[in-house]
Structure 1
Amino acid sequence: MSVTPRIDLHTHSSVSDGTETPTQLVRAAVAAGVSTIALTDHDSTAGWVEALAAAAGTSVDVVPGMELSTNYGPASVHMLAYLFDPTDAEIVSVTARIRDGRLHRAERIVERIAADYTLSWEDVLAESVAGGTIGRPHIADALVKRGHVANRSAAFESILHWQGGYYEKYYAPSPLEGVRMIVGAGGVPVLAHPATFGRYRVIEESAIAALADAGLFGLEIDHRDNTDDGKVRLHELAAKYNLAITGSSDYHGAGKPNRLAENTTSEDVLERIFATATGYARYSA
């Protein structure tokens, strides 16, 4: 009796805002009976080597990836990138600039919060790993540790809410620039959870058309944060522009309630991703 592969193409480690190291993430995938995970830390490839080494000889395959930050007007839009060349000069330069922007933005947010709550930059650093991407989740964890909120989700629903008075944006390329950059590095771009606020907050069709023309591969539709009406609209757009459909957990360990493989991607789509990508093969050859 054949076993249906369980393919989860959106997970995070402590290299960005997950709570498990890449090795621990792989072990969690083995324990959960997941066949394939993509490691997609925010704006970083620093966990690839460890994750691939941890997966060697196990039942889990690791797809090297990243969740690239982009800005679309006032909104933050994330782009999943798979199997690109991590040494590509533009990727290296842009992600370094994003991480630097995230760091200084986080410092400014903490400074402002500290005027109203007991919180220090050292508190936030204690929740991150050396060389990792520091962001608002680490501030949230520091707020939890200080006892200001019950958990990370509560922090984002209150103190760290974008209307909470402490929010700041940071540098990121546009989604179109992001797609072009990923494709230029031989990678495969997928728009991450683009319907978290319903069908009327999905990126405009004209923008989706432009992204598709630039090489957008797919839409992450099966994701717990996409609304039901938003998913209907995304399916319409995927059919119209011949975009693949992916499903993922967006697993963060204990950082979010999301569980590994609670949503999955078909084996056919994964095979198409491997067939489309050229960047990582060049890098690893």
Structure 2
Amino acid sequence: MRIDLHAHSTASDGTDTPAELVRAAAAAGLDVVALTDHDTVAGHAEAIAAATAGLTVVPGMELSCRLDGIGMHMLAYLFDPEEPELARERELVRDDRTPRAQAMIAKLRGLGVDVTWEQVSRIAAGGSVGRPHIATALVELGVVPTVSDAFTPDWLADGGRAYAEKHELDPFEAVRLVKAAGGVTVFAHPAAVKRGRCVPESAIAELAAAGLDGIEVDHMDHDDATRARLRGLAGDLGLLVTGSSDYHGSRKTCRLGDYTTDPEVYGEITRRAAGAFPVPGAGGDTRA
């Protein structure tokens, strides 16, 4: 059983529509895929409708959080999307993405980069706008060779020359909100040092005590030594260990199913959830 619990569509900063992502997951031989767009559930209905027989879709989301000035992401699975407190907070985070992007564009223009809101908006194509869309614009303009190269102190990394803050949740509040909505929480790529500063392991222990369910260990931004260390930490703290591709379509080099989650861990996630349920495909939308 092949399970990928972290993937993005055009509802946020991926390049595949939710339906295209689901079809790609089936073509990649996955049995389960989670749609975890940033701060939105807008793609869930389309993904579920497109699920083909043999593929299960897990409704999820990746919440933007910040702890002591350090950005981090919290994966949320199988929560009630209508729970009002969580819905209100995710909308605050999502709605602040546009003014934040406009502020970063202004900073880039001040640095001599001829990027425009119209260009970034075109790239986002109606999705929840984020830094990867601005990074794609920098690639189009020849400023950087790849999207990853835009996430440096020179450009869009946390604290970088063109960085701007947005509304983000305290991770302890994120855990509380998701749990209150019947969901399960997993700290995404907790040691992805290439993205910038990471929260200390002491903070992960505090989050575990506050109800965090797991950490994403097997991820393209963790080397072998980091995975081994995180797996040991998860064992010490009683946390679930997940593995996922963090697929963004053509915007990143990772492929669906590059890293996967153990079926027993997936089973435990579904047992803990009370807000929503995985949706097995029943034929789905097979249009090309």
- Matching residue of 2:212: 216
- Matching residue of 2:90: 95
Work out whether residues 195 and 227 of structure 1, in 8 Å CA contact, stay in contact via their aligned partners in 2. Answer: no
Q: Return the alpha-carbon distance in structure 2 between the equivalents of residues 33 and 89 of structure 1.
A: 36
Match of 2:147 among 130, 149, 152: 152
Structure 1's 204 and 155: CA in aligned 2 closer, same or farther, altered over 3 A? closer
Whether 2:33 is the aligned partner of 1:37: answer yes
Work out whether residues 194 and 219 of structure 1, in 8 Å CA contact, stay in contact via their aligned partners in 2. Answer: yes
Match of 1:78 among 73, 76, 81: 73
Q: Give the Å deviation of 1:192.
A: 0.5
Structure 1's 164 and 241: CA in aligned 2 closer, same or farther, altered over 3 A? closer
Bigger drift between 64-73 and 222-231 goes to 222-231
Mapping 1:1-285, distance limit 5 Å: 5-55=1-51, 57-115=52-110, 116-130=112-126, 132-157=127-152, 158-162=154-158, 164-197=160-193, 203-281=199-277
Q: What amino acid is the match of 1:95?
A: R
The 3-state SS of whatever aligns with 2:14 is coil
Bigger drift between 112-121 and 154-163 goes to 154-163
Q: Return the alpha-carbon distance in structure 1 between the equivalents of residues 89 and 117 of structure 2.
A: 25
Work out whether residues 85 and 279 of structure 1, in 8 Å CA contact, stay in contact via their aligned partners in 2. Answer: yes
Work out whether residues 13 and 20 of structure 1, in 8 Å CA contact, stay in contact via their aligned partners in 2. Answer: yes
TM-score when normalising by structure 2: 0.90
Q: Give the Å deviation of 1:26.
A: 0.8
Q: Return the alpha-carbon distance in structure 2 between the equivalents of residues 98 and 173 of structure 1.
A: 8
Q: What amino acid is the match of 1:72?
A: L
Structure 1's 163 and 172: CA in aligned 2 closer, same or farther, altered over 3 A? closer
- Matching residue of 2:283: none
The 3-state SS of whatever aligns with 1:220 is strand
Q: Return the alpha-carbon distance in structure 1 between the equivalents of residues 224 and 91 of structure 2.
A: 35
TM-score when normalising by structure 1: 0.91
- Give the CA RMSD over aligned residues: 1.7
Gaps of 5+ in 2: 278-288
C-alpha distance after superposition, 1:50-103 (max 9, x if no partner): 000000x33321100000110011211101000000111111111111112221
The 3-state SS of whatever aligns with 1:139 is helix
Work out whether residues 16 and 42 of structure 1, in 8 Å CA contact, stay in contact via their aligned partners in 2. Answer: yes
Q: Return the alpha-carbon distance in structure 1 between the equivalents of residues 108 and 28 of structure 2.
A: 38
Q: Give the Å deviation of 1:202.
A: 5.5
Q: Return the alpha-carbon distance in structure 2 between the equivalents of residues 247 and 49 of structure 1.
A: 24
- Matching residue of 2:286: none
The 3-state SS of whatever aligns with 2:76 is strand
Q: What amino acid is the match of 2:206?
A: A
Q: Give the Å deviation of 1:123.
A: 0.6
Bigger drift between 93-102 and 64-73 goes to 93-102
Number of residue pairs aligned between Structure 1 and Structure 2: 273
Q: Give the Å deviation of 1:137.
A: 0.8
> Deviating runs (4+, > 3 A) in structure 1?
161-164, 201-206
Q: Give the Å deviation of 1:270.
A: 0.8
Structure 1's 118 and 203: CA in aligned 2 closer, same or farther, altered over 3 A? closer
Q: Give the Å deviation of 1:163.
A: 5.2
